[in-house]
Amino acid sequence: MNFRNKKPNKAKLLTLCLLTLSMSLASSVTFANSFVIKNAKVHTATQAGILNNATIVVKDGVITAINPRSYKVTNVIDAQGKDVTPGLIGSMNSLGLIEVNAVSGTRDASEKKADITFDTSKAFNPKSTLLPYARKGGVTSNVVSPMGGESMFRGQSFAVNLSGDFDSVLVSDRAVVIDLGASHEGSRATHIQTLINTLEDAQEKLTDKKAEAEKSDASDSEEKDKKEEKLKRDEIIINELLAGTKTLVAFAERATDLLVLVDIKQRFNLDVVIVGGSDAVLIQKQLVKADIPVIVNPHNNLPTSFDTLNSSLDTATVLIKAGLKVGLYIDDAHKLDQLRYLAGSAVANGVEHEDALEAITANLADIFKLNTGKIAVGKKADIVMWSADPFEISTKVERLWIEGEEASTKSRQDALRDRYTTDTEMPRAYTK
């Protein structure tokens, strides 16, 4: 059996050091992971489009040059014309929070009492078997979404890379995830009201405080600050949403719910992202005007509920043509390797190939403010070299780098396959 991409055990400790050091310090040191990929068909996922026979220079985990006239790096990889893309970005799943769905001891994505403060980033398990499996599909980073509990607020999402290292959580408090729409108990109106009331109350408080501050003169404002009431954790998060430093990521499907989000964005000046968006096609103009990105699963084409009657294979096509920023996602982390096939399906249904690639790389990086997802100078060297067209089922990952470090695509599944396909006279348990 063929064990391509077997990761050499080199520089594991070094990687750990590198990633924990600050960038400025790291860049002053020479590292073994500087390399050049030459002669590649580079899908940049930027306006530069596809660059043929291109050269990418990676130093200290970052892309430092594209097509330079010369370079001093000696570790040169000849891509022989193969397709090279940014590492793919998964999102809105529970990667690293659930190993086996039906085993309660491995489930850390949900919590009955979860609220807006629910932060699962410390529960992320970089050693989950799902990570190497996802790497088979060229996924190098992922936005993990908590599943929450009884509240409409699922909690806060966080971003990770798929290195499997203990320091792979990149960002842990940039977005709040909520559910809007069909409710199994009670009315969807309650969710909408809760959201609007919460934002209104918080904004009122902020406005009052501002007015108070203006009333009092400069001399005693210092004292005021000291006395200022300590905000609760959930209040801080709401204020961050209002300040636009946190994103509101909303699972919502029906047009009426999407319009509530458009309204909220305009009224409170929030950073809003829609996930699901079955009816987004009905309100394209409003979404474009409000500049709200939509993350869809292009395989979801059935009217699974009365909220999703417009689910269609060409939703992504229509939204991209309308000028919206579209991301593609799979909510099942065990199937994260299939993200590229979703992009392929989108292409089969009318999306341009490079637009589909951006929908699983650059667009998600933009939406979640991650410094990856593009082959461009200054971006993290999350790079995949493919045997051919990255979306084709017959294509496989040839090599893959996460922050400039090569990662293996060998997984537990391969070990099992090898065990049961190797000839032996002994019980299989002796084949390791």
Partner 1 sequence: MQTSLPKIFTPLLLAATISTLAGCGSDDDGKVTINKNPYPSTYSPLASQSILFTNATVLIGNGEQLEDADVLIADGKIIEVGKNINEDVDIEIDAKGKWITPGIIDVHSHLGVYPSPSVESHSDGNEMSSPNTSEVWAEHSVWPQDPGFQAARAGGITTLQILPGSANLFGGRGVTLRNIPSHTMQGMKFPDAPYGLKMACGENPKRVYGSRKVLPSTRMGNMAGYRMAWAEATEYKRAWDKYEADFEDDDTVQPPKRDIELDTLKGVLDGEILIHNHCYKAEEMAMMIDLGKEFNYHAGTFHHAIEGYKIADLLAENGNCAAMWPDWWGFKMEAYDMVQENVAIVDAVKNSCAIVHSDSDITIQRLNQEAAKVLYRAKDNGFELEEKDAIRWITLNAAKSLGIDSKTGSLEKDKRADVVLWNRNPFSVYAQAEQVFLDGSKVYDRFDEAYQAKSDFMLGQPSLLENVKKNKVEK
E strand segments, 305-412? 326-328, 383-386, 397-402, 405-406
From the CB of 137, what's the least distance to partner 1, in Å?
10
From the CB of 304, what's the least distance to partner 1, in Å?
5
From the CB of 231, what's the least distance to partner 1, in Å?
40
Helical segments of 254-332, H only: 255-268, 284-290, 315-322
306 or 430, CB closer to partner 1? 306
From the CB of 337, what's the least distance to partner 1, in Å?
8
30 or 420, CB closer to partner 1? 420
1 or 189, CB closer to partner 1? 1
Q: Which residue type does 187 have?
A: S
From the CB of 279, what's the least distance to partner 1, in Å?
7
58 or 283, CB closer to partner 1? 283
254 or 379, CB closer to partner 1? 254
Q: How far apart are CA 372 and CA 425, in angstroms?
A: 49
Q: Among positive and negative, which fits the CA dihedral 88, 89, 94, 95?
A: positive
Supply the DSSP symbol for 409.
-
203 or 349, CB closer to partner 1? 349
260-281 in b/e form (b: 16+ CB < 10 A) is bbbebbeebebbbbbbbbbbbb
**DSSP bridge pairs for 294:** 274, 326
Question: Would you put residue 401 in left (φ > 0), alpha (ψ -120 to 50) or beta?
Answer: beta
How big is the CA angle at 427 (ends 424 and 429), to the nearest 5 degrees? 105
From the CB of 178, what's the least distance to partner 1, in Å?
22
Give the residues lining the site for partner 1 (CB under 8 A). Answer: 1-2, 99-103, 129-130, 254-255, 279, 281-282, 299-306, 308-310, 312, 334-335, 337-338, 341, 344-345, 347-348, 391-396, 413-414, 416-417, 420-421, 428
H helix or E strand, kind and range, residue 347? helix 339-348
343 or 370, CB closer to partner 1? 343
Q: How far apart are CA 110 and CA 97, in angstroms?
A: 9
From the CB of 193, what's the least distance to partner 1, in Å?
23
